[in-house]
């Protein structure tokens, strides 16, 4: 299966990259021989700076490659740069990066989505044919929708997270981003091809699939909650039209309900901030980060390093997570959030026992303007349609389904755990039909 190879150009008009590695090396062999691939800057690359979009890791150079990077390199891919991102993956716009915001190639006055905004912009601008992103609550699918490309969040445990600098371990996954479903599928084959025992959550289940466009007889659930309050009517209309295309291809469309979506977003933010509070404790100027001032009292030195190194959004989420885990509040917040998560899992298990996949909008709005979302709560709300898949650990893909006023809209397709093949087929069927 050939992947389109394009000449690598280091010209970055959208601030998509934090680090550019230079010309793609020639003479490699493998399934991705000579193909330029961009890697999100929270995925470790041996000898190449990996910052997580943060000043606290400005000079960090990993001594090893992430498992997915090793697999890409073994297949001849050329890692040409590390892409810009929301700091430590915390954001929906790629505006929280310490290295400046990424611009959306579709409209440079708009955000590209986040947190994998640099990867999406690099693909959408034609700088690379494919890229790696990570998805904790929509961070692959959101920028894919906003930039008009394809992005897949795999099942939790299908892709090794070894070498991923952790934000929220129980939610995040590494996944492929590209301009076509076929290229995403091809990349997925490579990054699941060898099981990694270093990630205890990783399952030995390689993805070996050629996308099929025949979806006749497939049952597609459409949750009423995905078209409820807060969803732009123009987005809803585009997505319903896309679902109509799937129906025209022979799929059976069934309305369904996910009642737990009412509290999925709140549960997600309690869980992810709690895990972030724990994970980011290591960045203290002793283990990681700039050197601490040894002449100061330890807690003052620790405070000063983290105040200087972390941006506002990262500090906010650390504080929220620390509060949720603190004595007297753990049961009120973190434990209740985990109960809510189980309800989300049960809802998806119930629905996906009756239908093959679930379809709806990827994002509730069109890409917003740079600087438009200054209120954290309004920003968090934009994740409402993507976080349920992370809580449940199921695969989900975003595929472009038209434009409104020139701005892209994404169709999200979710499926059963370890059933990426079916999810990919639905996205591919739609893509092939509208491009015919």
Which residue, among 413, 390, 414, 402, has the nearest Cα to 366 in the 3D structure?
402
Contact (Cβ atoms closer than 8 angstroms) between residue 8 and residue 24: yes
Which residue, among 162, 149, 93, has the nearest Cα to 120 in the 3D structure?
149
- Cβ contacts of 284 within 8 Å, gap of 6 or more: 292, 302, 305, 306
At residue 17, what are phi and psi to the nearest 5 degrees?
-115, 145
At residue 148, what are phi and psi to the nearest 5 degrees?
75, 35
Which is it for strands 219-223 and 357-361: parallel, antiparallel or unpaired?
Answer: parallel
């270093």: which residue's tokens?
A: 198
Rounded Cα–Cα distance for residues 397 and 181 (Å):
9
Q: Is 139 a catalytic residue?
A: yes
Burial of 431 by CB count in 10 Å (0-12 exposed, 13-18 middle, 19+ buried)? buried
3-state secondary structure 364-386: CCCCCECCCCCCHHHHHHCCCCC
Q: Is 185 a catalytic residue?
A: no
Alpha helices in 257-357 (DSSP H): 261-279, 298-309, 312-325, 336-351
Catalytic annotation, pick one of 139, 160, 260, 398: 139
How many other C-beta atoms lie within 10 A of the C-beta of residue 293? Answer: 12
Catalytic annotation, pick one of 54, 115, 260, 277: 115
Which residue, among 137, 135, 154, 95, has the nearest Cα to 269 in the 3D structure?
137
3-state secondary structure of 200: coil
Which is it for strands 17-20 and 78-83: parallel, antiparallel or unpaired?
Answer: antiparallel
DSSP state of 110: B
Rounded Cα–Cα distance for residues 134 and 139 (Å):
6
Rounded Cα–Cα distance for residues 143 and 136 (Å):
13
Q: Is 296 a catalytic residue?
A: no
Catalytic site positions:
40, 115, 139
């Amino acid at each position: 299966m050939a992947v389109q190879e394009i000449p690598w150009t280091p010209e970055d008009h959208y601030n998509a990259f934090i680090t550019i590695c230079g010309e793609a090396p020639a003479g490699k062999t493998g399934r991705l021989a000579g193909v330029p691939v961009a890697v999100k800057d929270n995925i470790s690359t041996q000898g190449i700076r990996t910052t997580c979009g943060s000043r606290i890791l400005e000079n960090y150079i990993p001594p090893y490659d992430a498992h997915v990077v090793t697999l890409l390199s073994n297949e001849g891919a050329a890692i040409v740069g590390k892409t810009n991102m929301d700091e430590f993956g915390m954001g929906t716009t790629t505006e929280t990066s310490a290295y400046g915001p990424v611009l959306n190639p579709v409209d440079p006055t708009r955000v590209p989505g986040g947190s994998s905004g640099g990867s999406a912009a690099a693909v959408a601008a034609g700088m690379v044919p494919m890229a790696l992103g990570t998805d904790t609550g929509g961070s692959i699918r959101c920028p894919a929708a906003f930039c008009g490309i394809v992005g897949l969040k795999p099942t939790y445990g299908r892709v090794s997270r070894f070498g991923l600098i952790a934000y929220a371990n129980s939610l995040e996954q590494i996944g492929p981003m590209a301009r076509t479903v076929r290229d995403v599928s091809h990349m997925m084959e490579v990054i699941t091809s060898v099981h990694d025992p270093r990630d205890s959550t990783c399952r030995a289940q390689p993805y070996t699939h050629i996308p099929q466009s025949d979806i006749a007889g497939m049952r597609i659930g459409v949750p009423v909650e995905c078209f409820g309050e807060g969803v732009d009517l123009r987005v809803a209309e585009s997505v319903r039209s896309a679902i109509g295309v799937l129906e025209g291809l022979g799929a059976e469309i069934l309305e369904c309900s996910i009642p737990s979506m009412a509290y999925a977003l709140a549960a997600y933010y309690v869980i992810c901030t709690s895990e972030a509070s724990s994970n980011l404790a290591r960045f203290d100027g002793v283990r990681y980060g700039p050197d601490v001032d040894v002449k100061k009292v330890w807690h003052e030195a620790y405070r000063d390093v983290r105040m200087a190194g972390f941006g506002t959004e990262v500090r906010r989420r650390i504080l929220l997570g620390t509060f949720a885990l603190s004595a007297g509040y753990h049961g009120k917040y973190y434990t209740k959030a985990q109960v809510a998560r189980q309800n989300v899992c049960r809802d998806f298990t119930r629905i996906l026992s009756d239908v093959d996949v679930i379809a709806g909008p990827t994002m509730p709005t069109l890409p917003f303007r740079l600087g438009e979302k200054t209120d954290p709560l309004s920003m968090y709300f934009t994740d409402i349609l993507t976080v349920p898949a992370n809580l449940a650990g199921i695969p989900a893909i975003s595929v472009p389904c038209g434009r409104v006023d020139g701005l892209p809209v994404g169709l999200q397709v979710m499926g059963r755990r370890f059933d990426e093949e079916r999810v990919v087929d639905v996205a591919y069927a739609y893509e092939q039909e509208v491009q015919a």
